[in-house]
Amino acid sequence: MSNTDIEKCPEPKLPEYAFIGRSNVGKSSLINMLSERKALAKTSGTPGKTRLINHFIMNESWYLVDLPGYGYAKISKKDRAKWRILIHTYLKNRSNLMCVFVLIDSRHKAQKIDLEFMEWLGKNQIPFSMIFTKIDKLNSGEFNKNKKAFQKEMLKNWEFLPPTFESSSTSGHGRDSILKYIAEINEMFEV
């Protein structure tokens, strides 16, 4: 189900997990990897196009929500403001939202836009976890170095770090641990 109208999203009867990140972070690839479907999520939406909230039902037991990403280079101020209203309203009001997975490209150092988005989540008491994507593009030494630097940056503003996962959509690495984490939280869901 795809929406720009929050009212039209499915009833909040199942636990829900949102996936979000900067454009090109690997979100669509990760969603396809988690769902073992080749093209459930469409890869790399074009800026300026209608940006939708996509709900996928997983194993008839939880919703995966693909949220429009942020950080498109060419987006207008007006569209950025629209994104903010849509996403902020959605995240603050969705009663069945169990966790937001914030995707971070493991190749890059901490970006202001990601840090600010997580700060906003924190201030609004919205639970979130991080997923470092595309780890196959780095060797383990490089990855650990980047992860440590990122966490150090976060600790300037946070007392505790959020749960952190790593993923590769090409190898499937991370799939089991992310799905296990979701299954555990699903147990706590009450309508």
Strand partners, 146: none
Task: Identify whether the C-beta of residue 157 lies closer than 8 Å to the C-beta of residue 121.
Answer: no
Taking residue 30's Cβ as centre, other Cβ atoms within 10 Å add up to 25
Q: Which stretch binds ligand GDP (CB under 6 A): 6-14, 25-33, 158-166, 181-189?
A: 25-33
Determine which residue in the list 4, 6, 13, 44 makes contact with ligand GDP, applying CB under 6 A.
44
Determine which residue in the list 24, 35, 151, 164 makes contact with ligand GDP, applying CB under 6 A.
24
Please state whether beta strands 62-66 and 53-58 pair in parallel, antiparallel, or not at all (unpaired).
Answer: antiparallel
Sketch the per residue contact string, 152 through 191, with ligand GDP: x for CB under 6 A, - otherwise.
Answer: ----------------xxx---------------------
What type of residue is 128? F
Q: Which stretch binds ligand GDP (CB under 6 A): 52-60, 75-83, 131-139, 181-189?
A: 131-139
Query: Rule CB under 6 A: which of 59-88 touch ligand GDP?
Result: 69
Task: Identify whether the C-beta of residue 103 lies closer than 8 Å to the C-beta of residue 131.
Answer: yes
Determine which residue in the list 20, 133, 154, 182 makes contact with ligand GDP, applying CB under 6 A.
133
* Calpha distance 55→110 (Å, rounded): 29
Q: Which residue has the tokens 């940056």?
A: 153
Q: Which residues are near ligand GDP by CB under 6 A? A: 21, 23-29, 43-44, 69, 133-134, 136-137, 168-170
